[in-house]
Chains A and B, each alone.
Chain A
């Protein structure tokens, strides 16, 4: 992991030299909680900071609806990274592999192991000052789902993310976006669109420890109801001081159509 990070750093060195980092010293780059009802990083609020970094997350979700005789479990490994291009422009992306799925309909049980979709985003910094960073982005969902029966899944997400430092220890991270997921099967397509917003409040309790609390809301065009999900979320971050941050995060839907009980993520990112 460290070698890979160094290799990426060497390639990006000329760019990095001219980037405006958001680094907070030991606390590293401010990162929104990267958990949503989507897959991989698609549909999550990205960091508004261009700092080069790589990350790895182990994510899981559970949906248990006993009255409906339905349950679904998911687990995936998400590899992500950010690559600055210019002072105001950078790329980010993720790959989901492997991905495990379990779905149960009464006593009919299915499982599969494969890969999830990836994503690739282009970010543009809009505001950079001491207490506020704002960027906009366009993110594409890459059709790497396997196994699949017939359909291909892709999508587009466009939005704005921001970081507002209220005090040396307290900051807010939020974003608004419009993710649209597209599924194509032959000549037929389905579009799943929503408007989502998230807001996280982080407190640097110590230079090495940062709890984060937040929420996410999604409103979509599901005929069953407009509110797709309103979820409470939290994250505990440990900044090891070697540009490595470990985190344990969770999100619990509390309202809306989303029946998932909880999503959790355990991972790390390295600021290069």
Chain B
């Protein structure tokens, strides 16, 4: 079938229209006029109020941004606003996240609330080519409404035209959206015309009111969509940080939406439909938002709208949650969350078996309201700490509103914790971690979740794992104090101020209705870190990342409680500043914050040699960058569809010449189909030498110059991560890839960063970089610090400290770094290993050219008697001849210290990198992580503080030019 020219045959067209059976009017699908304006969507829904105010305008100043960590509007974006909501459509040249262009719903906030939305954008399938690329925005203002018309085509097919109308009326509690897609191509296509809600992970939690689901969804499998596919009357989502907000969407003109749900992304829309050339589809829906905790606010709009359009009645259930003595319980998802569900007959007490209709967090007065379908058997249950309580009601509601009265809870037990500095008794900022005492309180009795989601192995469950403190089983005692409630039970309560201080622990019993005071004491260990060094974490996320919801204040508090000197703020695809939070905490002199960014491409486009599927190039870090909220992504250039070399050139336009480019987690896996590790995308194999030219292989792509102002090569980063977070299996892979680079003479420094996204997902400062030099934090020299990082004067560590030095032929002291040197005659490598008493160190390894040349075991090292004391920080001191290690040939030497590496094996993909370890010490290499040991194990305390971590530290290399005639790489 050949593609032809458009015709205008109105008479036949009218006949054609009357013979079709569409749900919605044809609109601009039936017009060849490129300026056609689609009709107003969702005509069956009308909202009334006293206000007539509605306006549209272009964003011009950051003061116009709505509150919220995800508010990303920048100059040129279009704002639609009434007295209830504010919506932002990004300008076509401001692409965000997975979208090919602007024209997406970027911000949406209720009046009095905040924006917690990363983005909502239209799709017709799952590939990047199935998303629209909008080329123009038209703003329309009419009496009582404003609208933005986005026009374009599919990114992968410019014969498929896409037009989306976003409309806001004066009394609408959300945005009306109509998308028209016309197949002007030559092939029959299957479309899934839908909205993709980019949650990102650890942010919003999606919800659908279908039996057995609610907040729980099958794992998203993009290869087998049917396994994840659900049909639902509407969809909602809630945030978990203040100010809380909810979102919901309902289709107009049809009774259901279809699609998939996941904490990373949801997609809901029309059924998968074959659309032949010359035909099209229309999708109308309304997107609501409401302030307040839980999904109840927005879900109420959705359920009401659904009933009005499709028939059926709804009832609002209202009530109040009180504690003992009539004290209102509310304004805290942890302390009270009210769920309304239609019970399953066989399991009436379990909401997860029935159909959950709504869930609310009572307000500060303890009051809540939930909308449910009328004339259905409904149970109302109050949850606390993610578990059911006895408070609740059962009813079959009818009428517009039913008053449930007061639902009474027993008062929760409380801990009032004080942390003091051991000698001075001054308050000391610390992080508190609770774990049940083994054999006294069963994990199952104090675990919890959000109706089956977000449990994250939080035991006890003090609150949602990724928001403000308390989160999961962790609490920040900023400035030395914290008062919080916990489930009844007996716990170990730990206090930690990072691996540069001692560890404190107390056994506490929480009883309902009682408050227990606890005082813990910590001491900062002077002399642990080398003189003049600064500790830094150069990979940290906060709420501005699409996969974090951590409030700024909580994030900054966590920096300080872990004892770090320098933080590089590195949110995904945005530059961040924590200035406001620092000022609010009066903490400007307690930590140095540098703004940077983690370029995180999300649009697959590059097919590596031998591959068939488009990929992204992994993640790269850039700092320092200037925070400019007037610009898209706060000043970060767009990160998609470029190879790393071109990305470096792009970022360099907004970075100083002495900044740092870091390759992150080089061998990390994919997430949501997007590569997180550049080396893995290229097909790195640990036993195959990295090629030294572009030989047509995947790894050969390192040598490409993909174009840019400076012609940077793809391997022109300064440093790369050899440790990222706690995951032992992945860290072994990063280590191996770094060794492979050194072996080939590709000398890059290594760093060790936490990649922390919340209090729960990777703890900030575990690991951290000990940057060597003569620094003064009070007079921080960013340029000198970054120069030291680029030159590899870094020790990476999640606890142990290694101080190593030698001398060169001129008699100068040489510290770890990537610059080759000729050693002095008979040069010795002087090493001292130190650690806080609670960090076990039983092995020191000397790595020469990637192989362990010498090992010191526990009998060679000193072990402290008391892990909670302050004595015994020096574990080994000694010296080794460089000639003994290198055997007279050029090479490189790295010193490692910590616990022995676990037994490991490459069982899955034969890439030479371990994918399994013996994580539980049973002798079987069948684990993918290090599991929590018994309380009697020396690693137990470290595992409480940083779950899954293996105590480990490494120096950057000593690159030894043995005879001083130029260094030769070992392989």
Interface residues in chain A, defined as those with a beta carbon under 8 Å from any beta carbon in chain B: 37-38, 63, 66-67, 69-70, 72, 101, 103-112, 143, 145, 148-154, 180-194, 218, 220-224, 228, 257, 259
Q: Is the CB of B31 closer than 8 A to any CB of chain A? A: yes
Stretch with Cβ within 8 A of A (4 or more), from B61-69, B180-188, B481-489: B180-188
Annotate B7-50 by CB proximity to A: 1 below 8 A, 0 otherwise.
Answer: 11110111111011010001001111000000000000000000
**Given contacts A72-B187, A188-B29, is CB(A148)–CB(B20) below 8 Å?**
yes
Q: Is the CB of B190 closer than 8 A to any CB of chain A? A: yes
Q: Is the CB of B612 closer than 8 A to any CB of chain A? A: yes
Residues of B within 8 A of A63 (CB): 187
**Can you list 19 A-B pairs with a CB-CB distance of less than 8 A?**
A63-B187, A69-B127, A103-B189, A104-B190, A106-B130, A151-B278, A185-B278, A186-B16, A186-B31, A188-B13, A188-B30, A191-B6, A192-B2, A192-B3, A194-B2, A220-B1, A221-B4, A228-B1, A257-B186
Q: Are A108 and B2 in contact (CB under 8 A)?
A: no
The one of A106, A111, A143, A148 that contacts B279, using a Cβ cutoff of 8 Å? A148
Q: Is the CB of B865 closer than 8 A to any CB of chain A? A: no
Closest to A154 in B: B12
Q: Taking the nearest CB of chain B, how far is it from the CB of A73, in angstroms? A: 10
Q: Taking the nearest CB of chain A, how far is it from the CB of B376, in angstroms? A: 34
Q: Are B26 and A185 in contact (CB under 8 A)?
A: yes
Residues of A within 8 A of B15 (CB): 152
A193 and B280 CA atoms in complex are apart in Å by: 20
A105 and B188 CA atoms in complex are apart in Å by: 10
Q: Are B4 and A192 in contact (CB under 8 A)?
A: yes
**Given contacts A110-B190, A110-B274, is CB(A187)–CB(B22) below 8 Å?**
no
Q: Are B222 and A150 in contact (CB under 8 A)?
A: no
Q: Are B274 and A105 in contact (CB under 8 A)?
A: no
Q: Are B2 and A218 in contact (CB under 8 A)?
A: yes
Q: Are A190 and B126 in contact (CB under 8 A)?
A: no
Annotate B281-298 by CB proximity to A: 1 below 8 A, 0 otherwise.
Answer: 110000000000000000
Residues of A within 8 A of B6 (CB): 188-191
Residues of A within 8 A of B124 (CB): 105
Q: Are B280 and A107 in contact (CB under 8 A)?
A: no
Interface residue count for B (Cβ, 8 Å)?
Answer: 54
Q: Are B16 and A108 in contact (CB under 8 A)?
A: no
Q: Are A111 and B274 in contact (CB under 8 A)?
A: yes
**Given contacts A152-B20, A189-B7, is CB(A184)–CB(B12) below 8 Å?**
yes
Q: Are A186 and B273 in contact (CB under 8 A)?
A: no
Q: Is the CB of B223 closer than 8 A to any CB of chain A? A: yes
A220 and B1 CA atoms in complex are apart in Å by: 8
Q: Are B13 and A190 in contact (CB under 8 A)?
A: no
Q: Are A186 and B190 in contact (CB under 8 A)?
A: no
Residues of B within 8 A of A190 (CB): 3-7, 184, 277-278
Q: Are B190 and A222 in contact (CB under 8 A)?
A: no
A143 and B13 CA atoms in complex are apart in Å by: 13
Residues of B within 8 A of A185 (CB): 13, 16-17, 26, 29-30, 182, 278-280
Q: Which of B4, B13, B277 has the most CB of A within 10 A?
A: B4
List residues 71-112 of chain B with CB under 8 A from any CB of chain A. none
Closest to B156 in A: A68
Q: Is the CB of B224 closer than 8 A to any CB of chain A? A: yes
Q: Are B224 and A107 in contact (CB under 8 A)?
A: yes
Q: Taking the nearest CB of chain B, how far is it from the CB of A224, in angstroms? A: 7
Q: Is the CB of B225 closer than 8 A to any CB of chain A? A: yes
Q: Taking the nearest CB of chain B, how far is it from the CB of A113, in angstroms? A: 11
A66 and B1 CA atoms in complex are apart in Å by: 21
Residues of A within 8 A of B313 (CB): none
**Given contacts A72-B187, A104-B190, A189-B7, is CB(A183)–CB(B13) below 8 Å?**
no
The one of A111, A186, A222 that contacts B17, using a Cβ cutoff of 8 Å? A186
Closest to B24 in A: A150
List residues 167-224 of chain B with CB under 8 A from any CB of chain A. 182, 184, 186-192, 222-224
Closest to B192 in A: A108
Closest to A259 in B: B187
**Given contacts A185-B279, A191-B4, is CB(A105)–CB(B127) below 8 Å?**
yes
**Given contacts A103-B190, A151-B279, is CB(A186)–CB(B5) below 8 Å?**
no
Residues of B within 8 A of A37 (CB): 1
Q: Taking the nearest CB of chain B, how far is it from the CB of A60, in angstroms? A: 14
List residues 803-822 of chain B with CB under 8 A from any CB of chain A. none
A221 and B2 CA atoms in complex are apart in Å by: 6
Q: Taking the nearest CB of chain B, how far is it from the CB of A225, in angstroms? A: 9
Q: Are B130 and A184 in contact (CB under 8 A)?
A: no
Q: Are A192 and B1 in contact (CB under 8 A)?
A: yes
Q: Are A103 and B274 in contact (CB under 8 A)?
A: yes
A263 and B413 CA atoms in complex are apart in Å by: 74
Q: Is the CB of B275 closer than 8 A to any CB of chain A? A: yes
Residues of A within 8 A of B5 (CB): 190-191, 221
Q: Is the CB of B706 closer than 8 A to any CB of chain A? A: no
Q: Is the CB of B125 closer than 8 A to any CB of chain A? A: yes
A106 and B275 CA atoms in complex are apart in Å by: 16
Q: Are A108 and B31 in contact (CB under 8 A)?
A: no
Residues of B within 8 A of A105 (CB): 124-125, 127, 130, 189-191
Known pairs A149-B22, A185-B278, A220-B4. 14 more at Cβ < 8 A?
Answer: A105-B125, A106-B126, A106-B127, A108-B191, A145-B276, A150-B29, A151-B278, A185-B26, A185-B29, A185-B30, A187-B14, A187-B32, A192-B4, A222-B186
Q: Is the CB of B272 closer than 8 A to any CB of chain A? A: yes
Q: Are A153 and B30 in contact (CB under 8 A)?
A: no
Residues of B within 8 A of A184 (CB): 9, 12-13, 16, 278
Q: Taking the nearest CB of chain A, how far is it from the CB of B284, in angstroms? A: 14
Q: Taking the nearest CB of chain B, how far is it from the CB of A250, in angstroms? A: 20
Residues of B within 8 A of A108 (CB): 125-126, 130, 190-192, 225, 272
Q: Are A186 and B224 in contact (CB under 8 A)?
A: no
Residues of B within 8 A of A70 (CB): 187
Q: Which of A66, A184, A222 has the most CB of B within 10 A?
A: A184
Closest to B223 in A: A107
Residues of B within 8 A of A103 (CB): 188-190, 274
Q: Taking the nearest CB of chain B, how far is it from the CB of A112, in angstroms? A: 5
**Given contacts A186-B29, A188-B29, is CB(A223)–CB(B17) below 8 Å?**
no
Residues of A within 8 A of B26 (CB): 150, 185-186
Q: Taking the nearest CB of chain A, how far is it from the CB of B154, in angstroms? A: 11
Q: Taking the nearest CB of chain A, how far is it from the CB of B194, in angstroms? A: 10
Q: Are B2 and A228 in contact (CB under 8 A)?
A: yes
Q: Taking the nearest CB of chain A, how far is it from the CB of B816, in angstroms? A: 47
**Given contacts A151-B280, A185-B279, is CB(A110)–CB(B273) below 8 Å?**
yes
Q: Which of B3, B31, B126 has the most CB of A within 10 A?
A: B3
**Given contacts A107-B222, A111-B274, is CB(A152)–CB(B16) below 8 Å?**
yes
Residues of A within 8 A of B188 (CB): 72, 101, 103
A149 and B181 CA atoms in complex are apart in Å by: 11
A152 and B20 CA atoms in complex are apart in Å by: 8
A259 and B185 CA atoms in complex are apart in Å by: 13
A107 and B188 CA atoms in complex are apart in Å by: 15
**Given contacts A106-B125, A184-B16, A191-B4, is CB(A112)–CB(B274) below 8 Å?**
yes
Q: Are B4 and A150 in contact (CB under 8 A)?
A: no
Closest to B22 in A: A150
Residues of A within 8 A of B8 (CB): 187-189
A228 and B41 CA atoms in complex are apart in Å by: 39
**Given contacts A185-B29, A185-B278, A187-B32, is CB(A222)–CB(B225) below 8 Å?**
no
Residues of A within 8 A of B186 (CB): 222, 224, 257
Q: Taking the nearest CB of chain B, how far is it from the CB of A171, in angstroms? A: 30
Q: Are B17 and A107 in contact (CB under 8 A)?
A: no
Residues of A within 8 A of B225 (CB): 107-109
A222 and B3 CA atoms in complex are apart in Å by: 4
A37 and B277 CA atoms in complex are apart in Å by: 14
Q: Which of A104, A105, A182, A259 has the most CB of B within 10 A?
A: A105
Q: Taking the nearest CB of chain B, how far is it from the CB of A68, in angstroms? A: 9
Annotate B145-175 by CB proximity to A: 1 below 8 A, 0 otherwise.
Answer: 0000000000000000000000000000000
Closest to A188 in B: B32
Q: Taking the nearest CB of chain A, how far is it from the CB of B769, in angstroms? A: 41
